[in-house]
Structure 1
Amino acid sequence: MSPLRTRIRPAAGRAARPSREETAQRALVLRLLSLLLQYPDAELAGERTALAAAVNALPPSPAADELAAFTTWFTAQPADALESHYVEIFDLRRKSSLYLTYYLHGDTRRRGMALLTLAQTYRAAGWSADSGELPDHLPVVLEFAALAGPRAGEAPLRRHRRGLELIHHALSDVKSPYAGLLTALLSLLPPASDAELAAVAKLAAEGPPAEDVGLDPYSGAGFAPPGTFVPPAPARPTLMPPLTGPTDSEPRR
């Protein structure tokens, strides 16, 4: 892997269009985040050394620092401890669930439509996720962002900024090393407005909306009715090209 030398600049405050190399580096960070936020099964655990090497080759940036701190912890843990920790913080805690539409719509009919809209966004870009996960699963959203480019690809991340903030707060509260990955991701997005931060505080206090309906057209896709929770089956890591950064920002076809 060739070292990447150009500094990754945060999205906020860019005065000029990013260069091709900057876009490729940004995509690489997003791809690494997508992989590291997936369930650490045997396949992913077996790639920990390669992932750490890719992180260490990144140029200096706040996101790179957070990724380096996380992979130091990630590579040092026993595989079974990683799996247990992941299930505990992501599958058994609704406040840190990785399914982003839940934070905007809760268990309501609107959530089903939001999932369908997101899937249609992927198809319109010529991209099809093959991980077996719902389209709002954060690693899937991150992979799309990496492959489709900063403008259209990162739009779903910007749209779900409140949910990302809440996940970050929840992970920080339990002192999970995964909080650093959300810190890295948020550093790439425009700063949250006062209104967004107020909405996050309200969401943390009151929770997302709920109603006694299914999630058609995604009913039966791993979520329980309001008041109960059934952890979704862990998805296999998404297979990606070698971690050398894309040559352009076009989505996979």
Structure 2
Amino acid sequence: MSLLEKLLGRAGKGTLDPGAHHDPDPRRSAVLRQAAAVLLGYPDGQLLERLPVLRAALAEVGAADGVAELLDWFTARPLEQVQADYVQEFDLSRRHSLHLTYWTDGDTRRRGEALAAFKQVYRAHGAELDAAELPDYLPLVLEFTATVSPGDGWELLQRYRPSLELLRLSLRDDGLPHHRAVALVCSTLPGVSPEDREAVMRMAGYGPPTESVGLDPYDPRLLPLTERNQG
């Protein structure tokens, strides 16, 4: 039994059983995850300075073209406007939440248990968290996976694969190039990414898309109907 299974138990609705960790190209995966962690973070002067290095690293593993639009997004206008746009899309809009458990648990009590399990995974590897950030924050999970524990980090990402895919689709549908960074992450995980939200729902164990009838079309989460109504 893996550490994650001991902490979280069996995969529930909205999450996947991660299965056994196997990565045929761990170096490439580490580069993609570290790059995505930076590109999904808050844009500041340091990020802009790192863009040439990121572009070169991604080109080395054949992934630069996939995120070219996103790399240009950071430099096409003044940094202050880039920051304002980021805050609007990621901090003020739940449609683009970078917190993995939000998509599966919303603000329910179950989410607190899931967040505690993330913390325990980090602590098991001696990783200290910034108290200002929740442990399921995607850039944090990606950095942990790329630099601390590829195995346990991979299990977190794969378990919350439906969250990743819903975030990717939401960003894509809203015309934000950040969906390319999430696609990089998904490409390091097994299988092909779903084409639409209904396919993600099936992946997460919610059955046919008829279950979403009557739900708020702007609520992107994977919560069952009863929990959505309480959220």
- Whether TM exceeds 0.5 here: the answer is yes
Listed as ranges, the matches of 1:44-63 within 5 Å are 44-56=47-59, 58-60=60-62, 63=63
State the partner residue of 1:247: none
| Partners of 2:168 and 2:183 within 8 A in 1 | yes
State the partner residue of 2:120: 120
The answer to whether residue 37 in structure 2 is matched with residue 34 in structure 1 is yes
Secondary structure of the residue that 2:176 maps to in structure 1?
A: coil
| TM-score, normalization by structure 1 | 0.66
Secondary structure of the residue that 1:47 maps to in structure 2?
A: helix
Give how far 1:147 is off. 1.8
Q: How far apart, in 1, do the equivalents of 2:23 and 2:91 lie?
A: 39
Give how far 1:109 is off. 0.7
Q: Structure 2: 5+ residue runs without aligned partners? A: 1-21
Q: Deviations over 1:181-240 (max 9, x none)?
A: 11222122122585316749649856433587xxxxxxxxxxxxx5xxxxxxxxxxxxxx
Q: How many residues end up aligned between the 2 structures?
A: 192
Q: How far apart, in 1, do the equivalents of 2:66 and 2:86 lie?
A: 18
State the partner residue of 1:145: 145
Q: 1:69 to 1:79 in 2, by over 3 A?
A: same
State the partner residue of 2:80: 80
Give how far 1:131 is off. 7.5
Secondary structure of the residue that 1:186 maps to in structure 2?
A: helix
The answer to whether residue 189 in structure 2 is matched with residue 189 in structure 1 is yes
Q: Deviations over 1:83-119 (max 9, x none)?
A: 1221121112212110111111111111111101100
Q: How far apart, in 2, do the equivalents of 1:82 and 1:125 lie?
A: 35
Q: 1:170 to 1:153 in 2, by over 3 A?
A: same
Give how far 1:177 is off. 1.0
Q: 1:64 to 1:197 in 2, by over 3 A?
A: farther
Q: How far apart, in 1, do the equivalents of 2:216 and 2:184 lie?
A: 21
Q: Deviations over 1:12-62 (max 9, x none)?
A: xxxx863xxx32232121111101110102332333333333333x222xx
Q: 1:83 to 1:139 in 2, by over 3 A?
A: same
Q: Structure 1: 5+ residue runs without aligned partners? A: 1-15, 213-225, 227-253
Secondary structure of the residue that 1:155 maps to in structure 2?
A: helix
Instruction: Decide which moves more: 37-46 or 110-119.
Output: 37-46
Q: 1:131 to 1:140 in 2, by over 3 A?
A: farther
Secondary structure of the residue that 2:153 maps to in structure 1?
A: coil
| Partners of 1:52 and 1:72 within 8 A in 2 | no
Q: How far apart, in 2, do the equivalents of 1:138 and 1:122 lie?
A: 14
Give how far 1:148 is off. 3.4
| Partners of 1:91 and 1:97 within 8 A in 2 | yes
State the partner residue of 1:177: 177
| Partners of 2:102 and 2:111 within 8 A in 1 | yes
The answer to whether residue 65 in structure 2 is matched with residue 65 in structure 1 is yes
RMSD value, Cα: 2.8
State the partner residue of 2:4: none
| Partners of 2:56 and 2:64 within 8 A in 1 | no
| Partners of 1:55 and 1:68 within 8 A in 2 | no
Q: How far apart, in 2, do the equivalents of 1:54 and 1:36 lie?
A: 13
State the partner residue of 1:92: 92
| Partners of 2:100 and 2:136 within 8 A in 1 | yes
| TM-score, normalization by structure 2 | 0.72
